[in-house]
Copies of this chain bind each other. A is one copy, B any other.
């Protein structure tokens, strides 16, 4: 858990505190560009911010603690995008295009956030790992809920919807990661990534349309 986080920064002292807290988070996010959380030093962060090492403890117990705070932040912004995408209603082909575009745009606007999530999702810090895991689980649940309100989902069991939701979330994260790599020239260029992502979504959409929830082989 994060240390004391004033919900209402009325006084100008709390405001100042919130500001250096932000600076710490930003510095951590930036340092994560070329290493992983478990190798970032506390001093390294404070040095980047310009405060003394001891001051770090006024905001976080740990570097891992800061990491957990970053999870809230990064996945909070992603959450907004997801919900926006879920409420959107349009024909299937367009919908896929819009979704892929939305992901591309998000990566362009918040590259550090998705880098952090992708890198630490299976990273070396257990607390951060599980924080990301439970958060993505919630996303999958939400997506499943939205899918249930879809005419195509007639006859789908709750478990199958959940499975589909996970598939979409995982695909989204991987696509975002691919876009990020494209942006830093580490993989195929952006348009190729988008083209692949669209076809993969089409594949899933096709499988979805011909799916039959099979009561003969239930959950274990």
Chain A: residues with CB nearer than 8 A to chain B?
32, 34-39, 118-119, 121-124, 126, 129-130, 133, 160, 163-164, 166-167, 170, 174, 177, 186-187, 191-192, 194-196, 199-200, 202-211, 219-220
Contact = CB atoms under 8 A, between A and B. Distances in A.
Cβ-closest 3 pairs across A and B:
A207-B207, A39-B39, A36-B124
A130 B130 CA distance: 26
A220 B195 contact: yes
A118 B196 CA distance: 22
Contacts of A124: 32, 34-36, 39, 119
Contact of A207 (B122, B126, B166, B203): B203
Nearest to A39: B39
A128 to B, nearest CB: 11
A203 B200 CA distance: 12
A205 B208 CA distance: 11
Given A38-B36, A204-B207, A122 B196 contact: no
B163 A200 contact: yes
Contacts of A35: 38, 124
B38 A167 contact: no
A167 to B, nearest CB: 6
Nearest to A181: B133
A210 B203 CA distance: 9
Given A36-B37, A195-B220, A209-B210, 14 more contacts: A34-B126, A36-B123, A118-B122, A119-B123, A160-B199, A170-B174, A192-B219, A194-B220, A203-B208, A204-B204, A204-B207, A206-B206, A206-B210, A207-B208
Given A164-B203, A204-B204, A195 B177 contact: no
